[in-house]
Amino acid sequence: MPRIAVATPYFDFFPDLKAEFEAKYPGTKFRTNREKFTEDQLIDFLKGAEVALIGLDKFTDRVCASLPDLKVISLCSAGVDHIDPAILNKYGIKMWWAAGINKVSVSELAVCFMVFTIRKVHFFSSILRRGEWKGPIGFAADLRGRTVGIHGCGFIGQEVVKLLQPYGVKIIANDREDKSEFYKQYGVESVSPEELWARSDVLTIHLSRNATTIGMYSAAVLDKMKPGSILINCARGSMVDEKALKERLESGHIAGAAFDVFDVEPANGHPLLDVPNFFASPHIGATTRESWGAMLRSGIHGIEHAYRAETGVYPFD
């Protein structure tokens, strides 16, 4: 029986799943404190463990070097950009991660943001709080009849396409892989990035964060977006130049934006939060009960199904 330590604290929200886990792996060590671990605290908690179930904990060279017994890390997370496969391989540590496990929750949030932003719900809510009523007529627009661009048509992007089917929108998409069969089935037009930026009334980002996507939405790219368009990001921070976005929201070149993610999180006090045509949430895309249950189950599954991660191979490409 492997010695297991669970660094993610969220099993306490799923007592039945925790009991099932303990029955299968007696003696598992669970964390209950939900405050973010320091590097030293992570090392101390995992001392002697052969398997670690983790959330967004970073396994630096120092962490791995300090845990000679560790053989497997199993990720209970939607993303993997906090893991460096080269470091894991240096210390002979295998990992487990399942792609797309949160696709329903994130795609629902993305579509919600589209409607919320184009209908300017945030603005109308603010005037109601000020004691006003109605606001300007014709200030908002319908999503129906618009062109929605999807940048990255993997698990989540495809789920967004499915959810948009009843909305009566034109869907265009860009993905580095051939998704022609899926596009044909759901009436999606494959376009280049340049076309995506130029034609989208609403553009939603569903890319992985890696060396090719960090900083992709630079000032120059934001300038290529259709004037008066809306930008949605429920993927990862660091892909959009936030300073440049603020300037273009204030100028009106981009009519509105809704983000669930930021370069630096927590993003309390971020300058974008003061921009009236910007709406944000605190990285809640995968925080539904259904997503967390699926991610925790995936972490348990990974104890016996870990693999050797490869630098330059998905999802580390």
Residue 90: pLDDT band (50, 70, 90) is very high
- In this prediction, residue 156 carries a pLDDT of 97
Residue 134 pLDDT exceeds 90:
no
Tell me, what's the pLDDT at 79? Answer: 85
For residue 59, what are its two tokens?
A: 């396994």
| Mean pLDDT, range 183-203, rounded to an integer | 98
pLDDT above 80: residue 146: yes
Outline where the chain has alpha helix (H): 15-24, 39-46, 61-65, 85-90, 103-118, 121-129, 155-164, 180-186, 193-199, 219-224, 242-251, 289-302
- Locate tokens 């470091």: which residue? 87
Q: Looking at residue 34, what is its pLDDT?
A: 84
pLDDT band at 71 (very low <50, low <70, confident <90, very high): very high
Both tokens assigned to 175: 């993905």
pLDDT of residue 136: 85
In whole angstroms, give the CA distance from residue 98 to residue 252: 39
Active site residues: 236, 265, 283
CB 76 within 8 A of CB 54: yes
**Whole-angstrom Cα distance, residue 265 to residue 194?**
30
**Alpha-carbon distance 232 to 150, whole Å?**
10
Q: What is the pLDDT of residues 157-174, one digit of tens each?
A: 999 999 999 999 999 999
Mean pLDDT of 171-179: 97
Residue 306's pLDDT band (cuts 50, 70, 90)? very high
pLDDT-derived band at 141 (thresholds 50, 70, 90) equals very high
The confidence score (pLDDT) of residue 220 equals 98
Per-residue confidence (pLDDT) for residue 316, from 0 to 100: 86
pLDDT higher than threshold 80 for residue 317: no
For residue 240, what pLDDT is reported?
A: 98
* CATH class, range 103-280: alpha beta
277 class by beta-carbon count within 10 Å (0-12 exposed, 13-18 middle, 19+ buried): middle
- pLDDT class for 315, splitting at 50, 70, 90? confident
Q: How many CB atoms lie within 10 A of CB 16?
A: 8
**pLDDT of the residue at 14:** 96
227: which strand partners?
none
Evaluate whether 4-101+289-302 and 103-280 have a shared fold: yes
Task: Report if pTM > 0.75.
Answer: yes
Question: What pLDDT is attached to residue 211?
Answer: 86
282 pLDDT band, cuts 50/70/90, is: very high
Q: What is the mean pLDDT of the chain?
A: 96
Whether the predicted pLDDT of 137 surpasses 90: no
Tell me the domain boundaries of the chain.
Answer: 4-101+289-302, 103-280
pLDDT of 38-70, one tens digit each?
Answer: 999 999 999 999 999 999 999 999 999 999 999
Bigger pLDDT: 210 vs 281: 281
4-101+289-302, CATH topology level: Rossmann fold (3.40.50)
Task: Give per-residue pLDDT as tens, 251-269.
Answer: 999 999 999 999 999 999 9
Residue type at 29 in one-letter notation: K
